[in-house]
Amino acid sequence: MEAVSLFKALADPNRVRAFYALLQQELCVCQIVELLQLAPSTVSKHMSILAAAGLVAGNKRGRWVYYRHTAADNPAAAVLLPALQQLVAQETWPEADQHRLDTILAEDPEFLCRRQSNRRQQRNPPS
């Protein structure tokens, strides 16, 4: 059931935030990690749920995965998109997310990915 998959994908606040950010532009996973302040594995799981619902698609470029929204290619999502945008416009988080995203986009995605990798290594040093 496409509708159930779509609604389940949008039932999580972090997935709504990631999807909403992707409506603006394509983003690297590391940029989404920075935006949501979640672990890369958690972001990857969220993105796989959005992809399974036909809302986003990933494109691997070298070591990095970039996501873009595919709502226009999904008839059910295209119908829901205006309602989602109208509901999100009433929230306070989009402005804060956009400010944070502007800061994130000013940095090189490769630098962000390396910085995140370094943080993980510092938290989990090899035994």
Residue-level pLDDT at 109: 81
Cβ-defined contacts of 83-88 (< 8 Å, 24+): 84/10, 84/16, 84/20, 85/23, 88/16, 88/20
Going residue by residue through the chain, which has 127 residues, state the pLDDT in tens, using 9 for 90 and above. 688 889 999 999 999 999 999 999 999 999 999 999 999 999 999 999 999 999 999 999 888 899 999 988 888 888 888 999 999 999 999 999 999 999 999 998 888 888 887 777 777 776 6
**DSSP at 60:** E
Architecture in CATH of 2-122: Orthogonal Bundle (1.10)
pTM of the model: 0.88
Residues 6+ apart with CB under 8 A from 66: 26, 27, 28, 29, 58, 59, 60
The structural domains of the chain, with segments of one domain joined by +, span: 2-122
